Amino acid sequence: MSESALTPFQSSAWTTEPVRVASRKSELALVQTHWVMEQLQGYYPGLRLELNTLSTQGDIILDVALAKIGDKGLFTKELEVGLLNGSSDLAVHSLKDLPTRLPEGLVLGAITRREDPLDALVVHERFGGYQLATLPAGTVIGTSSLRRLAQLRHAFPHLQFKDVRGNLNTRLAKLDRGEYDGLILAVAGLKRLGKEDRIHQVLDPGVSLYAVGQGSLGIECRQGDERILSLIQPLADAEATARCRAERAFLRALEGGCQVPIGVHSQVQGDELQLTGMVAQLDGQRLIRDSHRGSLREAEEIGMALAEKLKQQGADEILQAIFAQARS
């Protein structure tokens, strides 16, 4: 192969400068980032990679519920600052943490293949004989997600819910000490950390729609940085990209963030994409849910159309009440 036929990162002229990869310091974030780096190294054996780890506001403030901190870049801002000031070249995020509106000058360069996006119930050993629907009244379930909280309150009003913070291992330790009877966690995170054996029950989407982008990784970089944009394209997964683009357009049209009770479920069938979405009151008393289907090539239009459907059914009213409560 001639030098002119090489891609930029196969050419020795492009492998002299290291690519600096930003990541949160949590165990799950590092597992995900190392996976991205390994994939890149496989595509470009001569590539030099440097890891830049940072703590975000969401990592530091652990004694306050996420909803009370706010969600504007709670787990992403510090990584984005590094991209903008040039100390990092790309940042690896859990896509569910990445706001749908990015800072000026940054873009979502690639969405990776998706791990199972569903939610899971993990229980203390004394509840091993139960499913979520059969747990005794008053059973204490831990979750830091308003989305999960609203849906579970709606479906299982006999259960009690308690906020839980910390990384996955910290949460599991609290469960095992008996501080909680059960936890609701992402299947994807449990699998990536080798904790799949802790999954007691995978929650059907009919009970718990998942977070926008859950299960996929988003790779963020500077707008117009063709060197990095070219580098990460082999990591982009077409189906996951279409699904997540629809989900993010839905969330953006509702002007919601990752800490509001908005959930989704997307499916690809042939060249069609079906998106189901949900908006709920925090107490679970009112829950609006609907679906929209369209061409896979029009993913964002599907998301916006579904958001409009839910707005016509009262989603705006629910969200405005939640935002007003948060400001008070």
Q: Residue 263 and residue 279: Cα distance in Å, rounded? A: 7
The residues, any chain, with a CB within 8 Å of residue 108's CB and separated by 6 or more, are 98, 102, 218, 219, 220
Active site residue 316: no
Structure-token pair, residue 10? 């196969």
Structure-token pair, residue 176? 């095992």
Q: In which residue are the tokens 């580098």 written?
A: 231
Catalytic residue among 97, 181, 271, 283: 97
Q: Which of 230, 222, 286, 237 is nearest to 8 (CA)?
A: 230
- What DSSP state is assigned to residue 258? T
CB 230 within 8 A of CB 202: no
- What DSSP state is assigned to residue 13? G
Strand duo 217-222 + 90-94: pairing: antiparallel
Active centre residues (catalytic): 97
